[in-house]
Amino acid sequence: MATAADAELILRLYELRREEALRSARRFMVFDFQPKTLEELRAVSRDVQSPHNPAWRQTMSYWEMAASLVLRGALDADLFLDSNGEGILLYAKFHHFHAETEKESGNPFMGQTAALIEKYPVAKARYESLLKRFVPAQTPA
């Protein structure tokens, strides 16, 4: 059950999301960045000279931090999942790159978010629903 401390923490996370740099980074990641290939993903995620690399790092680290707070028991999962689906959306959006990026790095792609999805049925259901939005377009035969 959520506590007053959980409510304060969720409001603090919301305040951080409203900060202009993070808001701009999130807007880029959710709406503007539509990589079709692993190379396009790497051009943003790995190239520190890319003007979009800070948006990648800021957005992904924010959602990984938030998921970690839930997984470590610092924030009530139900309260978090009631109003925070963007990290799961990003995990679904980039699902077709997970295996290759994990193989290359030896680390799970968005590991905290992946663990959150596995641990909480409501998160898993949201992920499975979001996956339908990010099915790569089929090329005509």
For 11-42, what is each residue's pLDDT tens digit? 999 999 999 999 999 999 999 999 999 999 99
Tell me the mean pLDDT in the region 91-99: 96
Interaxial angle between packed helices 20-27 and 4-18, expressed in degrees from 0 to 180 and rounded to the nearest 10:
70
In-domain check, residue 82: yes
Q: What is the mean pLDDT of residues 105-124?
A: 97
Asked whether residue 27 is domain-assigned, the answer is: no
Look at residue 137 and tell me whether its pLDDT is greater than 80.
no
Transcribe 9-59 into DSSP letters: HHHHHHHHHHSHHHHHHHHIIIII----SHHHHHHHHT-TTSTTHHHHHHH
Phi, psi of 108 (to 5 degrees): -65, 140
| In a domain? residue 30 | no
- For residue 138, pLDDT over 80 is answered with no
Residue 29 lies in a domain: no
**Domain encompassing residue 92:** 4-18+41-134
Prediction pTM value: 0.92
Contact (CB, 8 A) for 81 and 125? no
Q: How many domains does the chain have?
A: 1
What are the distances in angstroms from CA 71 to CA 11, 34, 55, 117?
18, 29, 24, 10
pLDDT at 139: 52
Question: What integer is the mean pLDDT of 58-73?
Answer: 98
| Percentage above 90 pLDDT, the chain | 92
Residue 17: predicted pLDDT: 95
Confidence (pLDDT) at 94: 97
Residue 125 domain-assigned (yes or no): yes
pLDDT at position 135, please? 76
